Amino acid sequence: MSTNLEMARGNMVENQIRTWEVLDPRVLEVLARVRREEFVPERYRDTAFVDVELPLGHGEVMLKPVIEGRILQAIAIEPGQRLLEIGTGSGFLAACMAELGADLTSIEQHADLATMARQNLERAGLSRVRIEVGEALKAYEPATTFDCVVLTGAVFALPERIKSWVKPGGRLFVVSGESPAMQALLHTRVDANHWQTESLFETDIPYLTHASPPARFTL
């Protein structure tokens, strides 16, 4: 394995992710172990560890490493917990969640990206991750509830139907608001009717399909 590659990976973890208040040792270890470069499209491999979003096609991106680290830390996965990811992309975040012990289902609306993610996960020895092709916000109907639901794209407003997928005591990670001033939020379901919300950080990421702000007409 290339020494330069490992130096770049170590720099990503220590000088980018850790300095952005990601201090959970399990999260840092998994980000150092899962080979991010193998989930990056070939033409962007040289920037696999740079603090930028990487295009995947269809307007989707790989999130910045620091954002991925903050998500993994916030959702605090315990082994065996049932998770739902909306927006598989390249499969890297799914790989990290699976390595942390999640029983993971991931929804990706683009069949070619779902195929790429499956291949990436199989190469990483994580073929147990279930990837389904479908549009999540309006069409998907899960057969169960989850300990945690993670949206990897932004929503202008959180659809109520997604909240029903989280079991009592479970968590929902979402980035919401209007670009460029979005908030990353962790919603925790206290019981059937009550939630607690923690604001984690400000960011700006692409919207999920059907989740953009409503069109505004001006004269």
The fold for domain 3-203 equals Rossmann fold (3.40.50)
Alpha carbon distances (Å) from 81 to 84, 102, 109, 146, 192: 10, 5, 24, 8, 19
pLDDT of residue 177: 96
What is the SS3 assignment for 23?
Answer: coil
**What is the C-alpha separation between 73 and 96, in angstroms, rounded?**
11
Extract the tokens encoding 9: 């990976």
Asked if 83 and 103 touch (Cβ cutoff 8 Å), the reply is yes
pLDDT of residue 49: 97
Q: At what angle do helices 65-75 and 25-33 cross, to 10 degrees?
A: 140
pLDDT of residue 92: 98
Long-range contacts of 79-83 (CB under 8 A, 24+ apart): 81/147, 81/148, 82/144, 82/146, 82/147, 82/148, 83/146, 83/147, 83/148, 83/149, 83/150
pLDDT of residue 127: 87
pLDDT of residue 217: 61
Could you say which residues of the chain have pLDDT below 70? 1, 217-219
**What is the C-alpha separation between 14 and 87, in angstroms, rounded?**
27
pLDDT of residue 214: 86
The DSSP bridge partners found for residue 84 are 105, 149
pLDDT of residue 78: 97
**What is the C-alpha separation between 45 and 129, in angstroms, rounded?**
24
pLDDT of residue 23: 97
pLDDT of residue 219: 56
* Domain residue spans of the chain: 3-203
pLDDT of residue 2: 72
**What is the C-alpha separation between 72 and 150, in angstroms, rounded?**
10
